[in-house]
Amino acid sequence: MLIKNSSYHTKYYDLRKKVYINPKEETWANIKIDNTALNTHITNSRAMSQRPDTYMNVVDNILPIPARSTWKREGDLLTEFHQESIDTSINLGIEDLIRYLNKLKNIISGGIAVELSGGLDTAIIIGIARHLGVKIKLVGGISNKYEFRTERFVQKLIAKDFDDVTFIPESSALPFSNLTNTPFHAIPNKSSLFYYLNSVTANWAQENEIKYILNGIGFDTLLIDKAQKKSNSIMFDKINLDDSWANDYVFKPKLTSYINIIANDSIRKIILTMRALEPKDPQKKWARKIFADYIPNELSKYRYKGSFAANYAEGLSNNKDEIMQICEKAFNYSKLSKIKPKNMMNLIKSVEEFDQESEFEFMARLSFANWMHAFIK
């Protein structure tokens, strides 16, 4: 059985009715929540990091279908069916990308903003937009932590060339903040644990009449991974349910689209074709060279990436009471021992000792509890 989603957001397929449905709170009122559902979510959380082309349904008979993808259902397992084949015999370069983007700018209407992270990916977007004369506003979280000194320097360097820049102090919107106000969402997703920074950004967008916010989600796959070659073509197969969560549940209600720029087929295909003969590139050396004319020297000539570990740790430390409140309500509703407050607190202690396996387990369990809390309330 093949299920296709051609839209730019996650859709939910009802296996009994064999149609897409619009998930609402009342639809979820009587769903089955047990250890099987929780363990399936934990398995999915691991799979989406390692194999984003497989998924097992957490909610009975409801399958989430990621944007722009076709999936094959075999029993309880959902596997991505279609891989995008791109002909690499076509010789494309940076000029072709700029030419296409120049055409694209003429058909886009409404206020546009770009995330200013201080990293390479969004700097490329900003630099090309500026080169093409696209009027944009910049918005981004900024951190005073030592680990982000390079990102902070680049953010301020880029900001000098723009009239409208908004910085959101990350200390005011750390991970795990304000989770009790997480909106209802159809399936558990760890992106919900970072809801608040997206919420603050979405409110800013609504106040400033921003129709589109462009982000760099997906660029790591596009610029780092080695593309698989087959019969003079390369295959692109990296779909992740996390990618559209913020857009679907935080930005769309504020009448703003939070856009993964490589969701555009032509942009993705041009860049993949340009990279066809390139090896795996963890430091994005190829991109730093190709886009050197559009980004600061600090990004084209140097390679650095701050660690978010300190942000996670601070957010976790500051929000333990709220996390325990969420777990208590979810446990009282489900009686699932894995999300019992005492067990979750023990897991937090292991996370604070930098145990990576415990961190993974904690994020999966908490996102499940947060999902339950969002529709229980």
AA identity, residue 206:
Q
**Per-residue CA distances from 201 to 70, 113, 198, 314, 324 (Å):** 31, 11, 5, 20, 26
335: CB partners within 8 A, 6+ apart: none
Question: Can you read off the two tokens belonging to residue 89?
Answer: 């015999």
More confident residue, 148 or 237: 148
CATH 3.40.50.620 residue window(s) in the chain: 87-300
Q: Count Cβ atoms below 10 Å from residue 331 Cβ, excluding itself.
A: 20
**CA atoms of 248 and 257, how far apart (whole Å):** 9
Nearest to 11 by CA among 248, 182, 255: 248
Cut 0.75: pTM above it: yes
| pLDDT digits 0-9 by tens, 283-331 | 999 999 999 999 999 999 887 776 777 788 899 999 999 999 999 999 9
Q: Does domain 87-300 have CATH number 3.40.50.880?
A: no
For 73-82, 138-147, 180-189, 227-236, which range has the lowest pLDDT when averaged over its residues? 227-236
